[in-house]
């Protein structure tokens, strides 16, 4: 079963993703900011990271860079309320950029898609 790390400072949102994705059958770890995420990546192996951008302590973009410098192959989905970050080149090193919505279908589909491609290789 794929193991997913959710990085999100909004507690309720994070928990919602976790509940929804657990229902989908994924194993979920949670981090409240970029710093926690980087720490968790150091000690755990994740199949995918869902990353918020605007967070206290360390934001998503910085965390993204740090995680990728450690493991270039780890797929990352940026999931944020900000749509303007799409133009930031750093984010293109991520595998997907999804704008937050109360409907998690887009996120779920993207996760499936990426994991399928990865396992296919």
Partner 1 sequence: MKRFLYRTLFFFGPDLLFALFVAFILTSLDGNRVLAGAIAAGVVSMVAVRAVLFRIGSRFYYAQRIDAIRGLVEEYKKGRYIVPKIEISGRDELLELYGDMRTLGKHLSSVINSQKTELEKFQNLYNSIVFSLSTYYLILNGEDKIVFANTGLCEKFNFEQNEIVGKRIEDIFYFVNRRLKEGLRQVRKYENSVLLEKTHLLSMKKVSIIADIKISNIVLQEKRHEIVVIDDVTNRLQKDYQISLMSQITESIQKDDEIDRILHTILTGVTSGAGLGFNRAMLFLLDEKSQTLHGKMAVGPDSFEEAIEIWSSIASRNPEESISADDEKASGKALLKNVMNASFGMDQDSVFTRAMKTMMHIHVLDLWNEQDISEEIRALLNVKEFVIVPLVAVNRSIGVVVADNKFNKAPIGKGDIELLSIFASQAALSIENYVQLDSVRNEMQKLGQRQDAIVESEKLAAIGRISAHIAHEIRNPLVTMGGYARRIFQLARDREKGKDVSGIKDAAMIILNESERLEKILSNVMDFTRPSRYIREFNNINEVIEDTVNLLKNLFLEKKINVETNLETDVPLIKCDFNQMKQVMLNLLQNSIDVTGPGGRIVISSESTAENIVVRVMDSGSGIDQEDTSVVFEPFFTTKVTGVGLGLAIVKKIIKDHGGDISVRNITEGGSEFVIILPVPV
Q: How far is the CB of 56 from partner 1 (least distance, A)?
A: 6
Site string for partner 1, 21-50 (x = CB under 8 A): ------------------------------
Q: How far is CA 29 from CA 8, 74, 84, in A?
A: 11, 15, 27
Query: Closest Cα partner for 2 from 44, 31, 61?
Result: 44
Q: Which is nearer to partner 1, 93 or 101 (CB)?
A: 101
CB of 25 to partner 1, least distance (A): 15
Nearest to partner 1 of 11, 117 (CB atom): 11
Task: Candidates 18, 24, 29, 59: give the one binding partner 1 (CB under 8 A).
Answer: 59
Among 66, 100, 108, 118, binds partner 1 (CB under 8 A): 100
Q: Does 82 bind partner 1 (CB under 8 A)?
A: yes
Interacting residues toward partner 1 by CB under 8 A? 10, 12-13, 16, 19-20, 54-56, 59, 81-82, 100-104
């Amino acid at each position: 079963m794929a193991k997913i790390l959710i990085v999100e400072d909004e507690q309720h949102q994070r928990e919602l993703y976790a509940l929804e994705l657990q229902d989908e059958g994924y194993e979920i770890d949670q981090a409240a900011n970029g710093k926690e995420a980087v720490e968790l990546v150091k000690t755990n192996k994740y199949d995918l990271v869902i990353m918020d951008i605007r967070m206290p302590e360390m934001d998503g973009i910085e965390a993204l860079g740090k995680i990728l410098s450690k493991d270039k192959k780890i797929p990352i989905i940026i999931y944020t309320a900000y749509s303007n970050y799409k133009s930031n080149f750093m984010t293109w090193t991520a595998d997907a950029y999804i704008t937050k919505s109360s409907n998690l279908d887009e996120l779920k589909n993207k996760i499936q898609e990426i994991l399928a491609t990865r396992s296919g290789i």
